[in-house]
Amino acid sequence: MTIRDDHSLAADLATEAGERLLAVRAREGFADAAALRAAGDRESHVFLMEALARLRPSDHVLSEEATREERLDPSRLEAERVWIVDPLDGTREFAEEGRSDWAVHVALWERGELAAGAVALPAQGRTLGTGEPPKLPAHQGGRFRIAVSRTRPPEFVRNLAHLVGADLVPIGSAGAKISAVLTGEVEAYVHAGGQYEWDSAAPVAVAQAAGAHASRIDGAALTYNQPDPSLPDILVSLPDLAPTLLAGIRDLHR
């Protein structure tokens, strides 16, 4: 692995973790979904933690697969650089044969802002990163598409879609949903069912680098490396659709 800068590091780590996850799928098979999910979470987490410890030894790391004590370690709140990683986003989809909507997230938070990030979509053979952000597609007008959870789409998003004239597209992981906005499969992603910082840090870093809108559903800024890593709701969309979506969300919450 050749490391040039933090953008390249994020992309290289996410890509290699994804390749390892594909190998886990091939090795374990799909007969025991629980064992496959556990093996994927564990092996990707160990790889990312060892790589970051070796390549960026002075930085802190916030990982979904860390212990509760490690995640709540107050020392990261005083750090200038914290890597926020989700070793396997979309564990359910990872363990379902044929599904490609799962991801690896690697983001760098530095002095209050997301500074770099990458989302690997291993089963789709691509990694989106801040080093070379994707070019946003243009919305051609008319009805648009909103990515939602496959298993628990929030009721208010159904109502929002009806209000603004949109169709819902079920997709697996949060990283896959936000990537779908950046690649033109959908035009927006709205979620309010509970998430954590590692679910959105890397895809939001890429979305912001590409020029997409990314905020809480009330329009407030997304903030990372907080004492409580809960970050329960999010809106990511093409920039020209954000005013319509935010106004629709406000109307539904009155």
Binding residues are 64, 86, 88-89, 199
Given its phi and psi angles, is residue 184 left (phi above 0), alpha (psi -120 to 50 degrees) or beta? left
Contact of 189 with 213, CB cutoff 8 Å: no
- Residue ranges at the known binding site for Mg(2+): 64, 86, 88-89, 199
Strands 144-149 and 188-191: parallel
Helix locations, 29-149, DSSP H: 33-55, 68-71, 91-94
Distance CA 153, CA 230 (A): 19
Sign of CA dihedral 187, 191, 197, 198: negative
Contact of 188 with 217, CB cutoff 8 Å: no
Strands 144-149 and 166-171: parallel
The SS3 call for residue 245 is: helix
The SS3 call for residue 127 is: strand
- Which one-letter DSSP state was computed for residue 64? T
Strand-pairing partners, residue 60, are 82
Residue 72: in which H helix or E strand, if any?
Answer: none
